[in-house]
Amino acid sequence: MSHPIDLNPPRTPPARAARIRGFTLLEILIALAILAIAFASIITVAANQSVNVGYLRDKTLAHWVALNQIAEIQVGNKWLPTGKQQGDEEMGLHKWHWQRVVTKTPDDRVRQVEIAVFRERGDDESVTRLVSFISQPM
């Protein structure tokens, strides 16, 4: 004896069918709120990274300016008088202002050289400072 095949499967109740079909409006709003918070965090991190890149670029270029000043002193092979000097140097398509302060040390054959590099002439805060000791040429 064969059993007849039921071509019409049992239907789910209408209330349950609505739940199976998709998300509720509340679930969608919560998901959107979570995405908005995540995207806001990502944008904040990206903005902070771009600020850090600019800061590190300026710090590196200013340090190179200071190192160039030390190299010029060493290559010049002259005994520096104590006191303050200043000047400008172009590095990385920007004109940097530097100040050099030469002071005596307890050893009469050695001088301390401190170089501060500023973004602009008249700035109060330096981008970098470099201290070096130069010995008297022989």
Q: Select the CATH number that applies to the domain covering 14-135 from these four: 3.30.1300.30, 1.10.357.10, 3.90.1200.10, 3.40.140.10.
A: 3.30.1300.30
The percent of residues above 90 in pLDDT, for the chain, comes to: 77
What pLDDT sits at residue 1? Answer: 58
77 pLDDT band (50/70/90 cuts)?
confident
Mean pLDDT for 15-27 is: 72
Tokens in use for 14? Answer: 């209408």
pLDDT at residue 3 tops 80:
no
CA atoms within 13 A on the CB side of 16: 3
Could you state, in order of their start, the residue ranges of all structural domains in the chain?
14-135
Q: pLDDT confidence of 2, banded at 50, 70, 90?
A: low
Residue 52 pLDDT level (bands cut at 50, 70, 90): very high
